[in-house]
Amino acid sequence: MTWQTTKIPLIAILRGITPDEVEQHISLLIEAGFDAIEIPLNSPNWQESIRIAVERYGHLALIGAGTVLKAEQVEEVARLGGRLIVTPNINESVIKKALQLGLVICPGCATATEAFTAIDAGSPNLKVFPSSAFGPDYIKALTAVIPKHIGIFAVGGITPENLHDYLRAGCVGAGLGSDLYKAGQSPDATRQKAAAFIQAYQSFNKL
């Protein structure tokens, strides 16, 4: 499964969200146009949050986990009904377990060596992290050697203002963290930030 699983290749990263906040914020994200939701495993009571998210919105969005470090965690996310696995690093056992279970995998890499390790393990996607530390020119250079069918996501420091730069550099999409959602923020803030990102993505596709 590739990034084409979703209509809009923007992953909403809800780091720090709690189970009692899940429904309100995810409903607003889906209303805005998001259809990929990541709940990082270093969020409080993440198991319950993923369970609620899948139960309420699994038919409307690709829902899963981020900051996944071990194959055992992939299995637990799958048991909860999650279908998306995002990692901050390259761990071949995590990639292979996700693929074995039929999940969408987006592993984090920083170098060409890491990128090809993930590709050789079977990953159809790559997450360049932290993207803002490298910049669009670095990603553009990577795309010169990475096979065209691999979906590259920029993650880390992506804003509505610079999203175009990363898409122009060759990314198919992006993972959106604190510029979209910060733990404890109001639903109104989520609504406004989600709309800004969706507008930025759609405006790029009209260029």
Contact 61, 33 (CB under 8 A): no
Q: Which of 7, 21, 23, 38 is catalytic?
A: 38
Q: Is 182 a catalytic residue?
A: no
68 CB-side CA count, 13 A: 35
- Token pair, residue 138, equals 């670095």
* 148 is annotated as an active-site residue: no
Which sign, positive or negative, has the C-alpha torsion 35, 156, 79, 101?
positive
Helix ranges (DSSP H) in the chain: 19-32, 46-57, 71-79, 92-100, 112-120, 131-134, 136-143, 163-168, 187-205
Please provide residue 166's backbone torsions phi and psi, each rounded to the nearest 5 degrees: -75, -35
* Catalytic entry in 21, 97, 127, 193: 127
CA separation for the pair 138, 200 (Å, rounded): 22
In whole angstroms, how far apart are CA 108 and each of 84, 103, 117, 127, 145?
A: 13, 16, 11, 4, 17
Cα distances (angstroms) measured from residue 91 to each of 69, 119, 139, 157:
7, 11, 21, 23
d(CA 34, CA 28): 9
Q: Which residues are catalytic?
A: 38, 127
